[in-house]
Each structure stands twice: as structure tokens, then as C-alpha cells.
Amino acid sequence: MFSDMLVKLWENGIIQRGIWETIYMTAISTFIAYVIGLPLGVILNVTDKEGIYPVYWINRILGLIVNFFRSIPFIILMVAMLPVAKFIVGVSLGNKAMIVMLVIAAAPYVARMVESSLKEVDAGVIEAAQSMGTGNMQIVWKVLLPEARPSLIIGAVISMVTILGYSAMAATIGGTGLGQIAVSYGHQRFNPDVTWTCVFLTVIIVQVIQELGTWIAHKTDRRIGTGRA
């Protein structure tokens, strides 16, 4: 039923290591991307013409930078950023370099996801806070982010799944994980069962991320049970 290659990969722990490396790269890249992208998304929302502190030139410049990096296909961005990865982590190949690429590609995407989530916050809640003399920073920390928490979590799930998809390209610059196994042991050695096993395992990881993220978003939604829609 299974090829000798697939059995060998499993017995030698290569597939198990590939699963771990895929999860590791995705988790680390998502975390760093949010460290960068979350404040960028907040600034984009706050400085928007309908935001709580409109500043056209900041919003415009930051928006152009975010859109520039979002417009570049990941495979092209990955090649273009090889010198940047080498400057930051000292190498241009392997998982360290791949994480740098994933962060560069994902941070602008995260910024837009965060901006979109914050725009969903009811304007009446913000106006109520402003009428009570609440400062802009307090509105961000005590109104915008808490009110948008479920949407932010769903956005994080979407971002993580997107980054997981990007990580499959790691094999092109010497990265590891399920993508490298599918290419090196599956496609290049004509073992379709290896390739489809990697596909199946990737789908399982995605489903776990989505189910867990949806559950957390549901649990943190303060609107549930309050009558607000």
C-alpha cells in the first residue's frame, strides 16, 4: 500500500521531524510577524481619516509601504530578500533565512488584517469613550483591541494558515519541513504517496489551527450573551 520510501521516512523519524519543523517555522514566523504587524495595523487604523487621530501623511506613507510588500509574490520576495536574511541571521539558506522571509512577507499582511479588524469596532463605543474624556492610547488599549479581540484572533488564524502555506516553499532555499520532504522525497524521486502524505499532514495541521482559533475566538467574544450582534 505504501512505498518503501514512505515507510523508511517514517521509521527514520524524518516525517515526524518535518511536521515539527513546519509547525515551528509557522509559529515563530507568525509571532514575530504580529510583533511587527499589530502595531502597524493599529497605526493604520488610528491615523485613517475616520480614525481617532487622523494623520494623512503617516497613513499614506505607511499604507504605500505595506501595499508594496503585499503586492510582491512570495517566491519573488523570497529571492529578493536573500541578502536581507543573510544580514540579519548570517545565512541566506535554511530555516533561519526562511523565517526572515516569512516575517517580511507576513507582517504587511498582518497589518492589514489588524486594521480591518479594528474597523469593525462599533463607532458608538469609541464615541462613548471619547465623550468621557478617554485619551487616544487608552481607547486603543481599553476599547479598540478588546472589542476587536475575536476578529483579531480569527485574523491570526488566517494569517497563520497563510504563513503555513508560504513555509511549504522553504525547500527552494534549503528550508526543511513537510514542503522539503514532498519535493525532495516525493516529487523528485517519483513517490506520489510521499507527496500526498505531506499534503494530508498539512491539511490536518491547518484544520487543528482553524478549530482551535475558532474556539478561542468564540470564548473571548464578549458580545455573546450580551444581546449585541
- Specify the pLDDT at position 93: 80
- Tens of pLDDT along 24-45? 999 999 999 999 999 999 999 9
pTM of the model: 0.87
Give the percent of the chain with pLDDT over 70. Answer: 96
What pLDDT, on a 0 to 100 scale, did the predictor assign at position 55? 92
What does the mean pLDDT of the chain come to? Answer: 87
Residue 1 confidence (pLDDT) = 54
174-206 burial code (b ≥16 CB/10 A, e <16)? ebbbbbbbbbebbeeeebeebbebbeebbeebb
List the chain domain ranges.
20-175
pLDDT value, residue 66: 93
Closest C-alpha among 191, 185, 192 to residue 17: 185
pLDDT in tens, 168-190: 877 777 778 888 888 888 887 78
Cβ–Cβ < 8 Å for 32, 110? no
What average pLDDT does range 141-157 have in this prediction? Answer: 90
CATH architecture of 20-175: Orthogonal Bundle (1.10)
> Stretch 58-69: mean pLDDT, rounded?
93
* Ramachandran assignment for 21, one of left (phi > 0), alpha (psi -120 to 50 degrees), beta (any other): alpha
Residue 227: per-residue pLDDT: 45
* pLDDT value for 10: 85
Closest to 126 in 3D by CA, of 35, 192, 48, 207: 48
For Cα atoms 91, 100, 16, give the angle at the middle one, nearest 5 degrees.
Answer: 85
The pLDDT > 90 percentage for the chain reads 41
Q: Judging by beta carbons within 10 Å of its beta carbon (0-12, 13-18, 19+), is residue 167 exposed, middle or buried?
A: buried
Name the strand (E) or helix (H) holding 67. helix 56-71
pLDDT beyond 70 at 192: yes
Of 7-11, 60-64, 148-152, which gets the smallest average pLDDT? 7-11
Q: What is the pLDDT of residue 64?
A: 95
Mean of pLDDT values over 126-133: 86
Q: What is the pLDDT of residue 160?
A: 92
Maximum pairwise Cα distance, the chain = 70
